[in-house]
Structure 1
Amino acid sequence: MARPSRKSASPTKPLLKPPVRVGSLAPAALVGELRSLHEAAEDPDIHRMPADQELFGALLYLEAHASALKAAGARQKAALARVKLWQYIREQADTRQSKAIKDARAAHVEWAQLAPALAVNAASAAYNKAMRLRAAELPNPSLMESAIRRTPEAVLEAERLAAARAAAERRAQQEAARQHRLLAPVASRLLKYRAGLDDGQDITYWLDEIEAVLPSCETPTQFVSLATYVKAAVREIARAERGNPSSAITTDEASMAYAAAVELVTRN
Structure 2
Amino acid sequence: MARRTRKSPSPTKLLVKPPVKIGSINAGAVVAELRRLHEDAEDPSVERMPADDEIFSALQYVEKRVRALHRLTPEAQKAAALKRVRLWEYLREQADIHQTRAVADARDAGAEWAELAPVLAVQAPSAAYNKAKRLKAAALTEDTPGAGPVRRTPEAVIDAERRLARRRESEQRAQEAARQRHHLLKPVAARLLRNRDGLVLEEDAEYWLDEVAEVLPSCSTPTQMLSLNRYLSATVRALQKLEQRDARPVATTDQSRLALSAAAEFLAE
**TM-score grouping bracket, smaller chain normalisation:** 0.7 to 0.9
Number of aligned positions between the proteins = 263
Matched, 1:45 2:48: no
Preserved contact between residue 138 and residue 149 of structure 2 (Cα < 8 Å) = no
- Look up the equivalent residue of 2:113 and give its one-letter code: W
Distance 1:17 1:213 in 2: 53
Q: Pick from 191, 197, 200: which aligns with 1:197?
A: 200
- 1:194 CA displacement: 5.8
Determine what percentage of the aligned residue pairs are the same residue: 50
- 1:62 CA displacement: 0.4
RMSD: 3.5
Preserved contact between residue 241 and residue 249 of structure 1 (Cα < 8 Å) = no
Q: Pick from 74, 91, 102: which aligns with 1:100?
A: 102
Matches within 5 A, 1:1-268: 7-13=7-13, 18-69=18-69, 70-72=71-73, 73-140=75-142, 143-190=145-192, 196-199=199-202, 203=205, 218-219=221-222, 223=225, 226-227=228-229, 230-231=232-233, 233-244=235-246, 246=248, 248-249=250-251, 254-255=256-257, 257-265=259-267, 268=269
Preserved contact between residue 100 and residue 132 of structure 2 (Cα < 8 Å) = yes
Distance 1:246 1:240 in 2: 9
Distance 1:101 1:44, change over 3 A: same
- 1:207 CA displacement: 5.1
**1:156 counterpart SS class:** helix
- 1:74 CA displacement: 3.0
Preserved contact between residue 141 and residue 150 of structure 2 (Cα < 8 Å) = no
When structure 1 is superposed on structure 2, of 107-116 and 151-160 the one drifting more is: 107-116
Superposed CA deviations along residues 126-161 of structure 1, whole A, max 9, x for unmatched, are: 211111111122153763444332211221121121
Preserved contact between residue 141 and residue 148 of structure 2 (Cα < 8 Å) = no
- 1:253 CA displacement: 7.0
Superposed CA deviations along residues 192-216 of structure 1, whole A, max 9, x for unmatched, are: 7667434265x56865876797666
**2:263 counterpart SS class:** helix
Preserved contact between residue 140 and residue 150 of structure 2 (Cα < 8 Å) = no
Preserved contact between residue 191 and residue 259 of structure 2 (Cα < 8 Å) = yes
Preserved contact between residue 189 and residue 263 of structure 2 (Cα < 8 Å) = yes
Distance 1:62 1:194, change over 3 A: farther
- 1:90 CA displacement: 0.5
Distance 1:19 1:223 in 2: 43
- 1:117 CA displacement: 2.9
Distance 1:32 1:92 in 2: 19
Distance 1:172 1:109 in 2: 35
Superposed CA deviations along residues 53-90 of structure 1, whole A, max 9, x for unmatched, are: 22111101101112212222432332222111111100
Preserved contact between residue 186 and residue 261 of structure 1 (Cα < 8 Å) = yes
Distance 1:118 1:187, change over 3 A: same
RCO comparison, higher one (Cα < 8 Å, 6+): 1
